[in-house]
């Protein structure tokens, strides 16, 4: 009996500690994420609010199709006709996601995009790749190039659908950048939030195909308000992957979760990330005049110092935890000197002090126009500039004229000297040649005399 009572007490203590840990977690606002890799990004500025291993290379699975759709909408028209090739149809197994497209079957780019978004159709992805890139291989090069233009540094695409390939990888951060760009397009948000879509009969399929979205934050028990785009993925190597964007009160957030332990965890993790971004952060703004400088001395590695004027390209705004304030922020000026053009550029980097609990201490950066305070300043590597003050003109014209004449004569003498050296070299060469000929003749004569004897 005593043992039973003790067990009950122990159970109560465990429940209390569990509840207390949840209260503490809720108080500090930081979510407990089960996915191995994740990132929460502010869509308009690219500011990272929360992350774990966001730059690690991962296999994306079908969230690859976000990049496929982005390129399709940028380079194609929704009414464009796709004609499915043998390779586009049969290079993906029928045990993967598809809508049973057939060789020579024709469908519009719009229909293929709905199949891509809702059914995660690999055959539709291949058809889009051939339409936009000319071939599936060339399309993957366009994908990688476009990702790089968006700032992706750990991405290489080997296909348009995301099935396993050792050369097909990306990172959570790169995926967030791609999604942030994609949701700027109304067509993308419309297609990637559609719950259902009916594709009419085609030249090879007499029946209407109906696509229905399953397992998302758009509806059902895990529905989340404000979703403007989402894509799921899964393979044995990638695990459960998910990328979603949500917009509330003018704020756009992108959440990426990779290698979630199960499909429910990715919904819970994404919801927790969005709640954190929308509920625990507030906007902080800096007017341009707050980080401008009429006189700022720049010291370069060679010891040269320049007095410059710093002009911001505009105001700067960012998100900070609600517990933080402006006094906890710091700014640092960073400058770059182009030795070829002689141009100096700069930026102001804003951050929170290291004692802050916020995991993304770097808040962002603002471009600066860097102008010299004095036009007579010497840039690094330049010879010193002469002062051109009134009244300091040369007051001895005859000496100046004589100096000019002397310079001309010196050049003429140098030319004559060069010609003389060339003539002497030619003479010596000719002399040596003549001597060789005479020597050969004397040798021939000696040979003839010996023969007569």
List the chain domain ranges. Answer: 27-279, 285-372
- Give dist(CA 201, CA 209) in Å, integer: 7
Report which DSSP code applies to 62.
G
**Backbone torsions φ then ψ of 134, nearest 5 degrees:** 90, -35
Maximal C-alpha separation, the chain: 144
Going from the C-alpha of 146 to that of each of 65, 79, 89, the distances in angstroms are 14, 23, 25
Question: Would residue 141 show up in a list of annotated catalytic residues for this protein?
Answer: no
Report the pLDDT value the prediction gives residue 406, as an integer from 0 to 100. 66
Share of the chain above pLDDT 90, in %: 61
Confidence at 275, pLDDT banded by 50, 70, 90 = very high
How does the average pLDDT of the chain come out, rounded? 86
Q: For the chain, first and last CA: distance in Å?
A: 144
How far, in whole angstroms, is CA 433 from its chain's centroid?
69
Share of the chain above pLDDT 70, in %: 83
Catalytic entry in 97, 120, 171, 260: 120
Catalytic entry in 65, 231, 259, 347: 65
Higher pLDDT, 109 or 416: 109
Question: Would residue 120 show up in a list of annotated catalytic residues for this protein?
Answer: yes
Residue 100: its H or E element: none
Report the pLDDT value the prediction gives residue 386, as an integer from 0 to 100. 47
Question: Would residue 62 show up in a list of annotated catalytic residues for this protein?
Answer: yes
Residue 298 has pLDDT above 90, yes or no: no
Going from the C-alpha of 443 to that of each of 197, 451, 453, the distances in angstroms are 104, 13, 16
What is the rounded (10 degree) CA torsion for 374, 379, 385, 388? Answer: -20
Report the pLDDT value the prediction gives residue 368, as an integer from 0 to 100. 93
Confidence at 372, pLDDT banded by 50, 70, 90 = confident
Report the pLDDT value the prediction gives residue 53, as an integer from 0 to 100. 97
Going from the C-alpha of 417 to that of each of 223, 273, 412, 422, the distances in angstroms are 91, 82, 9, 9
- Are 45 and 179 in contact by the 8 Å Cβ rule? The answer is no
Report the pLDDT value the prediction gives residue 193, as an integer from 0 to 100. 97
Superfamily of domain 27-279: DD-peptidase/beta-lactamase superfamily (3.40.710.10)
Residue 374: its H or E element: none
Q: E strands of 338-429, at which residues?
A: 344-352, 362-372
pLDDT (tens digit, 9 = 90+) per residue, 373-418? 875 665 565 554 444 444 444 445 555 566 667 677 777 888 888 8
- The residue written with tokens 């199960």 in the block is 262
**Backbone torsions φ then ψ of 105, nearest 5 degrees:** -70, 140
Catalytic entry in 45, 56, 57, 62: 62
Residue 185 has pLDDT above 50, yes or no: yes
pLDDT (tens digit, 9 = 90+) per residue, 19-74? 334 333 444 578 999 999 999 999 999 999 999 999 999 999 999 999 999 999 99
Query: Of 270, 273, 261, 194, which Cα lies nearest the Cα of 234?
Result: 261
pLDDT (tens digit, 9 = 90+) per residue, 302-339? 777 888 899 998 999 999 999 888 888 888 999 888 87
pLDDT, average across residues 227-256: 97
């Amino acid at each position: 009996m005593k043992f039973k009572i003790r067990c009950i007490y122990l159970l109560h203590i465990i429940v209390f500690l569990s509840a207390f840990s949840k209260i503490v977690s809720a108080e500090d606002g930081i979510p407990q994420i089960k996915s191995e890799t994740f990132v929460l990004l502010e869509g308009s500025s690219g500011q990272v609010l929360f992350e774990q291993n966001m730059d690690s290379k991962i296999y994306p699975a079908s969230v690859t199709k976000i990049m496929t759709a982005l390129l399709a909408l940028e380079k194609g028209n929704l009414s464009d006709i796709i004609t499915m090739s043998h390779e586009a149809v049969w290079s993906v197994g029928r045990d993967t996601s598809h809508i049973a497209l057939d060789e020579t079957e024709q469908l519009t780019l719009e229909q293929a995009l709905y199949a891509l978004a809702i059914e995660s159709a690999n055959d539709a992805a291949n058809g889009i790749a051939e339409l936009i890139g000319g071939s599936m291989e060339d399309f993957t090069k366009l994908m990688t190039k476009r990702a790089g233009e968006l700032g992706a540094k750990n991405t290489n695409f080997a296909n348009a659908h995301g099935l396993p390939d050792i050369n097909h990888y990306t990172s959570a951060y790169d995926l967030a950048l791609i999604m942030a760009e994609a949701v700027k397009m109304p067509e993308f948000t419309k297609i990637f939030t559609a719950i259902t879509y009916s594709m009419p009969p085609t030249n090879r399929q007499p029946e209407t195909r109906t696509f229905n979205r399953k397992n998302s934050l758009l509806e059902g028990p895990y529905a989340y308000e404000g979703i403007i785009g989402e894509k799921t993925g899964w393979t044995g190597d990638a695990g459960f992957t998910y990328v979603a964007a949500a917009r509330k009160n003018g704020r756009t957030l992108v959440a990426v979760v990779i290698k979630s332990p199960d499909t429910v965890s990715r919904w819970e993790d994404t919801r927790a990330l969005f709640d954190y971004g929308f509920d625990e952060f507030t906007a902080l703004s800096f007017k341009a005049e707050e980080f401008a400088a009429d006189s700022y001395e720049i010291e370069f590695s060679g010891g040269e110092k320049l007095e410059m004027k710093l002009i911001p390209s505009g105001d700067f705004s960012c998100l900070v935890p609600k517990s933080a304030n402006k006094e906890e922020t710091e700014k640092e000026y960073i400058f770059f000197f182009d030795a070829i053009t002689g141009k100096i550029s700069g930026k102001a980097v804003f951050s929170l002090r290291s004692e802050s609990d916020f995991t993304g201490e770097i808040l962002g950066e603002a471009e600066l126009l860097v102008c010299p305070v004095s036009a007579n300043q010497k840039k690094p590597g330049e010879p010193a500039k002469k002062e051109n003050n009134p009244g300091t003109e040369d007051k001895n014209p005859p000496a100046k004229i004589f100096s000019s004449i002397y310079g001309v004569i010196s050049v003429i003498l140098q030319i004559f000297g060069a010609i003389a050296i060339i003539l002497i070299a030619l003479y010596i060469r000719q002399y040596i040649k003549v001597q060789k000929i005479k020597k050969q003749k004397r040798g021939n004569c000696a040979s003839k005399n010996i023969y007569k004897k």
